[in-house]
């Protein structure tokens, strides 16, 4: 009788460990982080919704609207500036400042080319701003309820701009 209890306890423990390991290795869910503004400007909360189904990673990235002329600025401008430094701009796509038009909401962006393998996450996000397409590549490593990684996108001068990001799973 004691052997049966021990065996049952071992089976139950193994089941719990398998479920916990699966949850830690699945990026599906809602993730949030604050993307710091340029030049120390106000950060913006980013929300990433991911779904891993049949080995394919899909989802959306959303960000709130920025205040009019608020933090951010368009590519190449200082916070609150349009391209070339004119006052009043909005923000750059891909998590680099406030929303276009200063206060207008940014539509959710569908992630493209999403992959997840051995804890590594990779996807791209495309946004358009004043007729210019901006592509940001996200890479990260899943560790439980945290994704740590970096982003890359082309800057106005053609130089690659890199930023770190660390997202926490929303419960």
Residue-range definition of the domain harbouring residue 37: 27-169
Query: What tens digit of pLDDT does each residue of 10-29 get?
Result: 444 444 444 334 445 899 99
Please tell me whether the overall predicted TM-score, pTM, comes out greater than 0.85 for this model. Answer: no
Residue 43: CATH number of its domain:
2.40.128.30
Query: What tens digit of pLDDT does each residue of 120-138 get?
Result: 999 999 998 888 889 999 9
- Judge whether 108 lies within some domain: yes
Q: How many domains is the chain built from?
A: 1
- Judge whether 1 lies within some domain: no
Q: Is the Cα torsion angle 38, 140, 54, 12 positive or negative in sign?
A: negative
- Judge whether 114 lies within some domain: yes
Distance between CA atoms of residues 101 and 91, nearest Å: 8
- The token duo for 9 is 């306890």
Phi, psi dihedrals of residue 93, rounded to the nearest 5°: -70, 170
Distance between CA atoms of residues 99 and 94, nearest Å: 10
Distance between CA atoms of residues 38 and 27, nearest Å: 28
Distance between CA atoms of residues 52 and 98, nearest Å: 29
Residue found by looking up tokens 């030049």 in the block: 39
- Judge whether 21 lies within some domain: no
- Judge whether 90 lies within some domain: yes
């Amino acid at each position: 009788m004691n052997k049966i209890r021990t065996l049952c306890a071992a089976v139950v423990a193994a089941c719990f460990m398998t479920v916990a390991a699966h949850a830690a290795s699945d990026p599906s869910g809602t993730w949030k982080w604050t993307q710091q503004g340029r030049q120390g400007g106000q950060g913006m909360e980013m929300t990433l919704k991911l779904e891993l189904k049949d080995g394919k990673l899909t989802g959306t990235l959303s960000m709130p609207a920025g205040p009019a002329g608020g933090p951010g600025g368009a590519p190449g401008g200082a916070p609150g500036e349009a391209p070339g430094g004119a006052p009043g701009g909005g923000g750059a796509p891909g998590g680099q400042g406030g929303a276009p038009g200063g206060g207008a909401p940014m539509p959710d962006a569908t992630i493209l080319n999403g992959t997840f393998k051995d804890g590594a996450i990779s996807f791209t996000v495309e946004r358009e701003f004043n007729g210019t397409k901006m592509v940001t590549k996200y890479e990260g490593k899943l560790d439980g309820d945290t994704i740590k990684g970096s982003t890359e996108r082309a800057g106005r001068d053609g130089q690659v701009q890199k930023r770190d990001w660390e997202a926490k799973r929303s419960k």
